[in-house]
Amino acid sequence: MKIAGSTIVVTGGASGLGRATAERVHAEGGHAVLLDLPRSPGAEVAAAMGPRALFMPCDVTSAGEVTAALDAAVTRFSAIHGLVNCAGVAIAEKTLSKRGPADLAAFTLVIQVNLIGTYNCIRLTAPHMARNPPNEDGERGVIVNTASVAAFDGQIGQAAYSASKGGIVGMTLPIARDLAELGIRVCTIAPGLFDTPLMGMLPEPARVSLAKQVPFPQRLGRPEEYAALAAHILENAMLNGETIRLDGAIRMAPR
């Protein structure tokens, strides 16, 4: 799939990895549709990008809101060719601490947003892609999900986050197989330590310490590096059913 002229929906598109991906899509001549919460700066981000960008306020866990956002994208740009799922949340909590057992509601929220929200967007975008005319490879659409190295190397306090991201990794191949007959590819990126707004909440000494854990390059990843890989997946027809670690060779320690 060529990004130029295509319409790519990016969840979590108002900041971090999602914003970088939307900006990359727009820079390469595509139509960028940013889905994010109403309180996000998504409207300002899309306005700054120009007329080939659209912001739709949306909770990825809501079938109605996602459906409305996708319908608006089709009305504006005629079709949807790609989906990049970047929306997510993180809550750190040990299974048992001095306060007692972990909060089940917090665990449920992380699963709901990260895992179920990702699947919700996939299942509702696929019908739009299935209606696209196939290209020379028979391709009608591409889906890129965001997991994490925590899916494999979950740290202390990351049970909920690791479970949600492990679920994304686990469903990548089955969904790719589900959608193969429709000409829709599915891949997942598992980022390591990236310089996103979530990471920006940490004090500078903590950021420096985390960066030193990366074998090479010994720094935090840059959102535009995630965006570059997402763009490559969109355009490389042989990438399908795969989870790609983007982490500078880090393997996370227990804490």
Active site residues: 161
Q: % helix / strand / coil in the chain, to the nearest 5?
A: 45, 15, 40
Please return the burial class of 173, using the count of CB atoms within 10 Å of its CB with bins 0-12, 13-18 and 19+.
middle
Tokens 């990895």 label which residue?
Answer: 17
The whole-angstrom separation of Cα 89 and Cα 68 is 22
The strand ranges marked E within the chain are 7-11, 31-36, 53-57, 82-85, 96-97, 100-101, 141-146, 184-191, 243-246
The whole-angstrom separation of Cα 110 and Cα 78 is 33
Could you tell me which of 47, 50, 59, 60 has the C-alpha nearest to residue 26? 50
What angle do the packed helices 117-130 and 63-77 form, to 10 degrees? 40
Amino acid identity for residue 100 in this structure: G
Could you tell me which of 46, 30, 35 has the C-alpha nearest to residue 72? 35
**Cα–Cα distances in Å, from 190 out to 13, 46, 86, 150, 153?**
17, 26, 11, 8, 11
Name the CA dihedral angle for 12, 48, 21, 178, rounded to a multiple of 10 degrees.
Answer: 60
